[in-house]
Chain A
């Protein structure tokens, strides 16, 4: 059973078209939920950590939110340079579980 599920698998947006990526999880005893950005052939770049439901964090055009069952990564007015794969990972105090990622393409 998958512990972390991300949707959609792929997303194409026009520049400036805001949208949200979803990360749902089934682990109990969440100790942290992490968002990463990964460019092709490179290591994941850390974006945010969320620890408890209701928490929100922002960085430039990105905003991450957390509920008891899922997290959203909102992208406001995206630019082509936001194109990447966005990975979600959860930590239950014992191990990390990565989702399969959402591949985002922003078209100029």
Chain B
């Protein structure tokens, strides 16, 4: 299984809602990532989990809260978002965390988030 899955595919939420994005991989990868991508821009790194511990937080606002319940799952909890947070949210995983030799990141299909 070389797939990263993400749910939901699309999400529309109001600024007062609380929602969660989910990501799952069964490749035995020990690093998982959240990216945000705006149209016609490259992915921007948000968070990195290494061996289920948060290792990088790229100064992301606290309205985004990541969680890694186990080595296969990654969640992104959303609360009180702003319209400018509308974007494609991508999850990725890699065999080894930062510093390792094998760092190809495999991406999921993304969640298209719209904040009204």
Interface residues of A (CB under 8 A from B): 31-32, 34, 36, 41-46, 49, 87, 89, 91, 93-96, 98-101
Which of B12-20, B77-85, B96-104 lies at the interface?
A: B96-104
Q: Mark B91-109, 1 if CB is under 8 A from A, else 0.
A: 0100000110101111111
Q: Which of B41, B88, B101, B107 contacts A45 (CB 8 A)?
A: B107
Question: A42, A94, A99 — which one has the most chain B CB atoms within 10 A of its CB?
Answer: A42
Interface size of B in residues (CB-CB distance below 8 Å):
22
Question: Once the chains bind, are A46 and B106 in contact (CB under 8 Å)?
Answer: yes
Q: B-side binding surface: helix, strand, loop or mixed?
A: loop
A46–B90 touching, CB < 8 Å: no
B residues near A, CB below 8 A?
Answer: 4, 6, 41-43, 45, 56, 88, 90, 92, 98-99, 101, 103-110, 112
Q: Given A41-B88, A93-B99, A100-B42 in contact, is the A46-B110 Cβ separation under 8 Å? A: no
Residues of A within 8 A of B106 (CB): 46
B43 contacts A98, C-beta separation under 8 Å: yes
